[in-house]
Amino acid sequence: MLGEQLGRVIEDYGGAGLLKDVETLRRSVIRARDADVHERKTEAIVASWPVERAEEVARAFTVYFHLVNLAEEHHRARVLRERDGRGPQPESLAATVAELQRKHGRSRLMEMLSCLEVHPVFTAHPTEARRRAVVTAIRRVGEQLNRLEDPRSSDAERREAMRRLTEEIDSLWRTGQLRTSQVTPLDEVRSIMAVFDETLFRVVPEIYRSLDWALGPSDAGLRPPLAPAFLRFGSWVGGDRDGNESVTSTVTADTITIQAEHALLAFEAATTRIGRAITVDAATTPPGRDLRRRLAALRAAAPERWAEVEKRSPAEPHRQFLLHIADRVRSTRTGAGEAYRSSSELIADLRCVQVSLAGGGAPRQAYGELQHLIWQAETFGLHLAELEVRQHSAVHARALDELRAGQAPSASTRDVLSTLRTIAALQARFGSEVCRRYIVSFTRGVDDIAAVYELAEQAGGKPPVLDVIPLFETVEDLRAAASVMEDMLGLAPVRRRLDKTGRSLEVMLGYSDSTKEVGPLPATLALYDAQTELTAWAVRRGIRLTMFHGRGGALGRGGGPANRAVRAQAPGSVAFRFKVTEQGEVIFARYGNAAIARRHLEQVASAVLEASTAATRSEPGARFAGLAQEIGSAALAAYRALVETDGFAEWFARVSPVEELSRMRIASRPARRTKGNALDDLRAIPWVFAWSQMRLNLPGWYGLGSGLDAARLEDLRRAYASWPLFNVMLDNAEMSLAKTDRRIAARYLALGDRPDLAARVLAEYDLTKKNVLAVTGHTRLLEKHRVLSWAVELRNPYVDALSHLQLRALRALRAKGTSSRERSHAERLFLLTVNGVAAGLQNTG
């Protein structure tokens, strides 16, 4: 249906000729999957069009993928709703707590839930290639789809919804797909706010309510809740300044202001709505002692004002106090009047009303919508998400060197000190939870942690409360992680925080850079070993250790299904706590739709509970340690033989669109850490993004084939059957291979004039595919994932169309003698195809 409406819109816009050209290319790329002659015909078709027509065709395929993604999202949400009506789904919290109670008993289950923490962190370097205007236009199309699918709609309403649907698709077609200015950090902040406003603020209490019902269905909503508020959200958006000079201390302060504005507006609206609805009379529901005391104090402090309140809500003390809370929330937002200094103050006021209602014989009012609001306050605080600051260890080292030498501080050092003062000021206004975690990227030793604490003392004013978190990103640093954590215990600021937090510490493990450094298989094994060593260290030292997983959306950056990733962690490392980055297009894919967001968070929470129980803490990894060493060494040798070949970085720049991508206005963060052209300077995100645009997905599988080739097939099959880490790793590689297109990739590789490197890459792809199929026992890729396999096969030819258009654009951009007008059109065509390929592949970076 959506495709038909898009066809009408295209024809209305560009006439039958444009629609014919789109259809000609569509049929040609489908035929090209079976015969090389059609591949050459496809190239000829694409080359024959004026660049303006090529842009229009690229727009058509890009908008098509936006609509396909929307249709799939709506289908998933509909299926989830239908399944929910048939009882608890597998991997839901309701199903998981029932199973855990059966195995471990009620008392142990409640202990587990009291320890549960799931902590997604939205990051500041997205690969979300769509403009916000495009996202909004897609959302409007979705609203009309909902109206069409609503069984309560009349025929007239459906006709109007269909008319509006076509109108919104027309608007999407006419909306500019490309950004005209560089994205700023605050643009990224505002983009993320949509997820909180439109999804998470509503979904979070629904998750808690579902869990509460599962724990006590007979009296749910009539008693104090059994479900704890186990979700916490964090953000690096506006706080991550590693290699991004655009993120200043002013940006960080503005970020918290924006976040708080959204949170406080939501709390103000919810409190006002609930206050107006709770009209229970003092005669039927007498207020409790604490509420009477608070009301008396308010009356004494402002008798005239409170007389007006009592006049509007006579004999309705609960309503009066709730509307007073709404006024305080408003004052917190505007800075005028009596503001809340922390979320704990807000929660205390809400609980006062709740206790009074319950004591007055109105448990439904006490534990209904009011409980939802309390859960939201416990989860989001006054600031929506904790803003985490990240900076590179080398920046801190330079700052300390300057200060110790008595030099005038450089701009970089001034910003470090200003950032620390800003954190202190934000904590004074919103409480320490607003911005407490400080990530040190490329931590090499304990001095990198001590530097932040020393700088905080020298920043001026009262130092902020900080939990400085080491981020280990290279294989060498991962191996040293436990040793560095041990050294951290010798730092006085760390010991003071341990006393305050019940001996809690956090460590971050970087997936992206380790994978770029040594390849997917050795990096996965190094991360697993680091988790194992850190878990043992924490047990020895009595530390409550949270491991923060810096995973990307793409498979080459630790991506893949999050719930399966949880189960594949080293035994004992989860311990009822799971913290993970959510990056790029994954944020909107997982949290843009309410039903999908709820399912995702429940699956992750369920996996955390299951992975943390004693029954699952066996150690298959120890049994396969020799195998892991064998295949890891072979995979590392193959990967390094490729990336350490003389001229590899220059070849990669020619065969990939990485240099062109670095000029895109996708994110505020530069593609390179420095202005150099070495491979080490290139960030992991554009590295993965470029390979995905080439349709090769090399970071997700390269070296794996050689690694598997070094071991006996029987041993590999045993590991696949009984070791979750190995099973998940191969399944993710299988997905990455399925999304690779060898034919299209070969055309990109031919741009490099290094047939030796091109042949090596394609040979490793063939070897990896052969060995993965042999180990899994599958006859074709994604054989056990019928729906996903069908979706990939259906999408691939349409992505091919965009890849051919992208190759044309790249050749034009790199050709000598190209006029400024031709270059401008070629750049537009290139950027359109990047958007389209990203939409078609879905997990890009």
Would you give the end-to-end CA distance of the chain in angstroms?
30
Taking CA 744 as the corner, what is the angle to CA 740 and CA 745, rounded to the nearest 5 degrees?
65
H or E element at residue 533? helix 520-541
Buried b / exposed e along 644-675 (16+ C-beta atoms within 10 A): eeeebbebbbbbbbbbbbbebebbbbbbbbee
Taking CA 392 as the corner, what is the angle to CA 235 and CA 486, rounded to the nearest 5 degrees?
90
- Residue 619 half-sphere exposure, CB side, CA atoms within 13 Å? 11
- Residue 293 half-sphere exposure, CB side, CA atoms within 13 Å? 6
For the chain, helix (H) and strand (E) counts, in that order, are 39, 9
Question: Which residue has 């989001």 as its token pair?
Answer: 380
Contact 161, 147 (CB under 8 A): yes
H or E element at residue 721? helix 713-722
d(CA 759, CA 479): 34
Contact 809, 748 (CB under 8 A): no
CB-based burial label for 564 (10 Å; 0-12, 13-18, 19+)? middle
Query: Helices 755-776 and 625-643, interaxial angle, to 10°?
Result: 160
Residue 160 lies in a domain: no
Give residue 845's pLDDT.
47
- Residues in the chain, pLDDT under 70: 124-130, 552-560, 584-585, 614-618, 664-678, 843-845
d(CA 369, CA 610): 30
Please give the single-letter amino acid code of residue 598.
R
- CA–chain centroid gap for 791, Å, is 23
* Domain coverage including residue 638: 622-794
Residue 200's closest CA among 334, 51, 337, 376? 376
Contact 803, 94 (CB under 8 A): no
d(CA 519, CA 511): 10
Residue 834 lies in a domain: no
Cα dihedral angle (723, 724, 727, 733), rounded to 10 degrees?
Answer: -130
Buried b / exposed e along 457-467 (16+ C-beta atoms within 10 A): eebeeebbbbb
Residue 663 lies in a domain: yes
Give residue 675's pLDDT.
56
Question: Which residue has 């500041």 as its token pair?
Answer: 124
Residue 704 lies in a domain: yes
Give residue 568's pLDDT.
86
Q: Residue 165, Cβ neighbours under 10 Å: how many? A: 21
Taking CA 394 as the corner, what is the angle to CA 391 and CA 395, rounded to the nearest 5 degrees?
55
Give the tens place of pLDDT for each residue, 188-219.
999 899 899 999 999 999 999 999 999 999 99
Residue 730 lies in a domain: yes
How far is CA 58 from each of CA 24, 291, 292, 397, rounded to the nearest angstrom?
Answer: 13, 64, 67, 48
d(CA 51, CA 53): 5
387: left (phi over 0), alpha (psi -120 to 50) or beta: beta
Give residue 405's pLDDT.
93
Bridge partners of residue 620, in order along the sequence: none
What would the DSSP string read from start to end of 544-591?
EEEEEEE--SSGGGT-S-HHHHHHTSPTTS-TTEEEEEE-THHHHHHH
Give residue 677's pLDDT.
59
Close Cβ partners of 370 (under 8 Å, ≥ 6 residues apart): 274, 278, 350, 353, 354, 357
**Catalytic site residues?**
125, 516
- Work out the widest C-alpha separation in the chain, in whole angstroms: 88
Contact 341, 382 (CB under 8 A): no
Contact 436, 427 (CB under 8 A): yes
Give residue 559's pLDDT.
52
Please give the single-letter amino acid code of residue 683.
R
Cα dihedral angle (644, 648, 652, 658), rounded to 10 degrees?
Answer: 70
Cα dihedral angle (834, 595, 729, 388), rounded to 10 degrees?
Answer: 80
Contact 658, 682 (CB under 8 A): yes
Tokens of 180: 């005209």
Q: Residue 262, Cβ neighbours under 10 Å: how many? A: 22
CB-based burial label for 756 (10 Å; 0-12, 13-18, 19+)? exposed
d(CA 160, CA 141): 13
Please give the single-letter amino acid code of residue 62.
T
Residue 359 lies in a domain: no
Query: What is the number of structural domains in the chain?
Result: 1
Bridge partners of residue 547, in order along the sequence: 507
Give the tens place of pLDDT for each residue, 149-198.
888 989 999 999 999 999 999 999 999 888 777 788 999 999 899 899 99
Residue 235 lies in a domain: no
Residue 248 lies in a domain: no
How far is CA 756 from each of CA 49, 404, 762, rounded to the nearest angstrom?
Answer: 33, 52, 10
d(CA 110, CA 88): 19
